Structure 1
Amino acid sequence: MDPGLEAAFKHVERLLYGDSGRLGLTIYDLERLVGYPARGEGPLSYTLPKTQALSGVQAVRLYYYPKDPNLQLIVEIEDREGKKHLRHFRWNGLTWEVPEGKRGELKSTEETPGLLKVGEDYFLGFPREEAVELEKEVRKGEALGAKYLLCPRCGARIFYAPSVRPEGVACPRCGNTTLLFKTLSGLEPHKDPLEALAEEQRALRKAIEELVAYLKRKLGP
């Protein structure tokens, strides 16, 4: 492993778990660092200040997900070449642990996942299992605060992870490079396609019933 990256991993490991000289970072310490809840419901980020231990990498960032019980912390280390190495953690009440199915070994590396298509939307920078879960939340209208790029030409949406730099991303459907930055809010819930279809059918059935009743009144039985 590159010496600068290895030193950064060791620094983060000491930060999270502590050593003989200091206690480890608790979830309450993390909340103070990222400014939760004053800065919103997240995900929120904090970039570690440059130190000698981090001089061999471009940046180390902590991403906090306060509303996700399974994935509360992503540690991102950006090396000198701009590659991002991610680790996932969850607070168990006493210390940080690796969520099931995630990667939390600080001595190995994992690059940022690429673009995935799940359902009608695209997901950039998410492992497949996270993209599938987020897609479910989007359909149910429960992914408030999720950031995405909207293509004004074809309507495609690209949800991107906090670790992704979305500048310069092109629409995977039509190739348009002029995309709009959007955030899901309570004013624009995205309905499940099946539920939306059922609502349309109910509305159509009601309209037909009203039309039949009107014709019966006008024309007689």
Structure 2
Amino acid sequence: MDFQSADPSVVKSIRQRDLLNCWLRLYARQHLLPDIADFQPTRLDEELPDLVYYRVDDIRHPVRFVIESNGTRMSNAYGSTGRGRYLDEYLGPILGPIVLPVYAECVRCALPIYTISMVDDVHGRAVAYERVLMPFSNGAGVSHIIASLKTISEDGGFEIRDLMRGHLSLPVPSVCVVTDSKLFHRTPNYIAAGDVVEIV
């Protein structure tokens, strides 16, 4: 999978930008990955249906990802709950090779990843599935990942149930980037040469 370089402004969703801004503020303190316990964005409760929390199991190689929460959108899109399961087992042999490299890259580079996958719902309507992965650390590499998952269709309504199970088309990423530049968040009222502009 080919990952391009980009800055955080590549993220389209306003809510996902807000989440990433929160991550950037934590990262900018010491230029280190934040602790997941410090991640407390505003209106977090409103975003929980679109968030999935993962624990990185790096005891084995390749690393595996344990699903620690039950994001409603993910459960609907994949057709079942995944809480307590390994992501590779949850995805299965068809979707695993498409999705897992995105998470592996997040661990490898220890930076946020943004993807957009185009997929058709059961009625043949095109849906954009936007994913932001944010890495966190307990002091020894990437220990957790939070994924924000958003779906949108230019056709308006669509059926999210089993959307990502590939009944009509596989959700192959059309946009796949590592956000590896302009990672130093600033407040809107302060501008200095070399500072990175807040995502707006």
TM-score tier, shorter chain, comes to under 0.3
Greater C-alpha radius of gyration? 1
After TM superposition, the score normalised by the length of structure 2 is: 0.28
Instruction: Identify the structure with the greater strand proportion.
Output: 2
